[in-house]
Structure 1
Amino acid sequence: MKKPLITADEIEPRIIQRADIAPTSGFSLVVDGHFKTHYDDADAARKAGAELLGRFPMLQVLIYDAATRTRSPLQ
């Protein structure tokens, strides 16, 4: 069975986020000192961080605010 050909117009570019460069906008989870998932609002980042911390309580999870360039622990 042959696979359908995908043209260059159909391929969406991947957004590559490097873990060693701080994001410039929005909020990100910082897990054990590494930037992970990016979120547009603080509530979504807190919810995801709380879920992650509930599943893996040994992790250190912080919320990074790109506007003020601060990291704050989950509360």
Structure 2
Amino acid sequence: MRVPMKKPVRSIDEPEPEEAPRADRPPSEGFVVIVDGHFKSEFETAESAKSAGRKLKSTYPMLKIEIYDAVTKVRTLLG
């Protein structure tokens, strides 16, 4: 005999869960590290995005890493 599962009850004080950002849509602001054509991490400054991209590239040199500027909608290949 199976016992039916019950959904957890949230209290009124508990905030609504935030919607996760879509990985298939580019953001409208900031900078994003693109790994092999897929949007990964978002950053506020270009330098922090490049730093994260260089760290990935040094660990995994076979990856194609780009930095996407959401304002100008330009991708720059990290070499």
Normalising by the smaller structure, the TM-score range is 0.7 to 0.9
Q: 1:8 to 1:26 in 2, by over 3 A?
A: farther
TM-score normalized with structure 1 length: 0.79
Runs of 4+ in 1 over 6 A off after TM superposition: none
Unaligned stretches of 5+ residues in structure 2: 1-9
Query: Pairwise CA RMSD of aligned residues?
Result: 1.9
Corresponding residue to 2:42 among 28, 38, 43: 38
Percent of counterpart pairs with the same letter? 44
TM-score normalized with structure 2 length: 0.76
SS at structure 2 position matched to 1:47: helix
Shift, 1:17, TM fit:
2.3
Unaligned stretches of 5+ residues in structure 1: 1-5
- Equivalent pairs counted in the alignment come to 70
